[in-house]
A and B are shown apart, each in its own frame.
Chain A
Amino acid sequence: MPTTAPQLDKAERKRLRTSHARDYGPGFIVKLVLMAAINALGVFGLLATWNSGAMGLFWGLLALLVAADYVYFSKRALPLKYIYPGLAFLLVFQIFVVGYTVYVSFTNYGDGHNGTKEQAVTALLAQNERRVEGSAAYPIAVVERDGELGFAVVAQDVSICEGAQPGDVCVGTSEDPLARVDDATHDGGAVTSVPGWSVLTFQQIVTEHQAEVTSLRVPVSDNPEDGSIRTTDGRNAFAFKSSLEWDEDAGTMTDVTTGTVFSANDRGLFEAEDGTTLNVGWRVSVGFENYITAFTDARYSGPFVRILVWTIAFAFLSVATTFLLGLFLAIVFNDARLKGRKIYRTLMIFPYAIPGFLAALIWSGMLNRSFGFINQVLLGGASIGWLTDPWLARLSVLGVNLWLGFPYMFLICTGALQSLPGDVMEAAKVDGAGKWRQWRSITMPLLLVSTAPLLISSFAFNFNNFTLIYMLTRGGPRFTDVSVPLGHTDILISMVYSVSGLDGTAPRNFGLASALSIVVFIIVGTISAIGFRQTRKLEEVM
């Protein structure tokens, strides 16, 4: 902060004392407008999260909003004014997400265990609904508002719509249970108009909304046990009630048709005495089970170890091959007398300027066994399974990564070579060191000191080089001796992707996938940490 020198006049001193945070200049106006907008959005968000009951989001948002106002209107938090925007995104989309990964890795989150126990109860009650035998048909009209469909029904009694007198009209959708509406008209049995809703004609139902209407389930009340009404023809609805009964006090589900009692077990499922379970469960903590599965369950541990070995080999060899080729080329072109160096360099770094996913896709075409350029043109019609034979596929992956990565290494090696201290080289020459000796004892160690951190980053990047693997081989060729859909070129991150089930080929298992993510992080983190420590040692030696 500037010191107030005595020779400054009074006004100047006052200006310097006044914080720019409270100075009404143009910058302040801009800030005020921005903060007003952010606060408005924030308050809107707080209301929305409060209403939908997402309390985790509510408190997170509140904390971010309060922090924003403090930072930008306080005199003290000057550095934070600059760091806050990036920090807010970092906290939510990186740090929180990592923390959440850890949390999920200790649960059985996944297909069959997707939500809370209440959600599971509601889903089970809705899934097991049967038409109530012998119940009368309710004449209905299908109504629509803003693209959302609902049923309008003339209530005969309160059993279908709370508080309704015979003759009242009730409307409900899949989200909102049937509720009485005023001023609707009906003609005998059929509803003819509902204020705020448009009544669909039979023609519209058949031609535009048939599938939607026949699958529409309109709950009778907020209590899932009261059942719902559904229709098959768009004109008459029938009452449906669940064959399961939920006893909240005892925490049990009873199948009313068979009398079987299902009670909650510690695996997040309703289980009967004979061990049968209901098909919807909820999320529970399972401790280290996911980690134990990764290392000991034969379905996963076998492929896991093979994939781990390949991942390390892939990342290491990728760095080694690209570095060696890049270094070799950098040395070749590190001669000021060579004409056209700039043209060579520009053409050589083209692969680096091609987005990686495109390069992998292009190469996957060129390496195609039957039609690819490599087999057809370069090898004169050979039919070599570059991407279908396990070892050749691994070789291809490394080859494509070499093509993609050598220009980067070439660039950094060129930079490092050009910044070598000339006096040291000169001194070595004067001391009578030969070319090889200069190279081995001076150039190489100096080069490694400056490039080692980048080599470690490159290793970490390739360890998780999902795009290359997925675009080129999709992890294939498949392991023939294991049951999970994994293959010879899968690396850990593509294994995590398969296991998570987000690609739709396997059941979702978020818990196991998150546990594997954490394991990958620990491995990469450890290797990087060791690497960085070695680099520091190297620097101290120099």
Chain B
Amino acid sequence: MTTQVTTQGVTAPPPQELRSRMRPGRWARELGWRHLVGVIAVVYAMFPIVFIFSASLSERGTMTGSNQLFRTISTHNFVALADTRFWSWFGNTLIVSITTAVGTVLMGAAASYAFSRFRFKGRRTSLTALLVIQMFPQMLAFVAVFLLVMTLGNVFPVLGLNSKLALICVYLGGALGVNTFLMYGFFNTIPIELDEAAKIDGATHSQIYWTIVLRLVAPILAVVGLLSFIASFGEFILARIILQSQGNWTLAVGLFGWVSDQLNANWGLFAAGAVVAALPVLVLFLILQKYIVGGLTAGSVKG
């Protein structure tokens, strides 16, 4: 159950006595070089992040001015964000991503529960069908998505072009395909005897689902919610064609506009925006790190 996910990837404490007995030569041969590789890897992984953080703190807005790391430290760029549409893009992105994540978790978990617990006609076929559908990314059908949303908008303007609700619905269309397998595997690890015991005690299937099973699978719900949040947070092509007015844009569409206009690009402003935009995902990621690592590796060893 929960332990299965959390223990994976967690390091065992190093055997201290072994280390202290090691001579320097052996230490360098067996462990020292690993530290060297580690430092290089960390520098490689971190330097663009340090660079953009430094650029966001620089006083001048040009790209050349940002090249000397941490030469000036000012909050000027962050303050200047208030004069742009940045914060409304930020709000739009959060609305879209959070709604999508919650919807995806609810729908995916419900479907996985059904596949895991009930035996019904067409169950295997449906699972295979989901696997096949998953291979056709929605993004590839963006022309048809655009035409569908445009048609819907003629009848229901709330679901038409330039509507965040329409974008959320489109994202939710992929809720089953991508996540059912990840969750299905996890649901299967919860012993069915628990359900049966509850059933004998007189619980209905919906009581079992909401009060027992969902609590036990909380880690995978967190992983799926976060992955869905990240995916819709950074999704560009569908957001770009559906959200048409600047006020409705998401961060991906808006920030792309800032940088792609190379001549007028205000690099400092973009850097500040990038830091703010990266923060929610980064913080969530670090908090839920052990679940994510567990979820990914659990997925990997299950195949």
Contact = CB atoms under 8 A, between A and B. Distances in A.
A482 interface: no
Interface stretch (A117-125, A184-192, A340-348, A426-434): A340-348
Interface string A342-372: 1010111111111111110111111010011
Interface string A86-129: 11011011111110110010000100000000000000000000
Contacts of B204: 20, 23, 27
A414 B9 CA distance: 7
Contacts of B269: none
A93 B301 contact: no
Contacts of A376: 64, 67
Interface of B: 8-9, 11-12, 14-15, 18-19, 30-31, 34-35, 37-38, 41-42, 44-46, 48-49, 51-52, 62-64, 66-68, 106-108, 110-111, 113-115, 118, 120, 123, 126, 132-133, 135-148, 151-152, 154-156, 169-170, 172-177, 199-200, 202, 204-207, 209, 230, 233-237, 240-241, 252, 255-256, 259-260, 267, 270, 274, 277-278, 281-282, 285-286, 289, 293, 296-303
Contacts of A451: 300
Contacts of A539: 303
A94 B62 contact: no
**Most B CB within 10 A of own CB, among A97, A338, A460, A500:** A97
A98 B234 CA distance: 23
Contacts of A503: 240
A372 B111 CA distance: 48
Contact of B155 (A49, A100, A415): A49
Given A48-B156, A371-B62, A362 B9 contact: no
A223 interface: no
Contacts of B200: 2
A355 B34 contact: no
Interface string A374-412: 001100000000000000000000000001000110011
A355 B278 CA distance: 7
Contact of A354 (B12, B49, B156, B298): B49
B59 to A, nearest CB: 16
Contacts of B107: 85-86, 89
A497 B303 contact: no
Contacts of B205: 20, 78
A352 B44 CA distance: 13
A335 B110 contact: no
Interface in A184-228: none
Interface stretch (A143-151, A171-179, A247-255, A467-475): A467-475
A104 B147 CA distance: 10
Given A27-B204, A48-B156, A525-B135, A89 B175 contact: yes
A350 B41 contact: no
Contacts of B285: 349, 352-353
Contact of A408 (B155, B169, B260, B296): B296
A100 B148 contact: yes
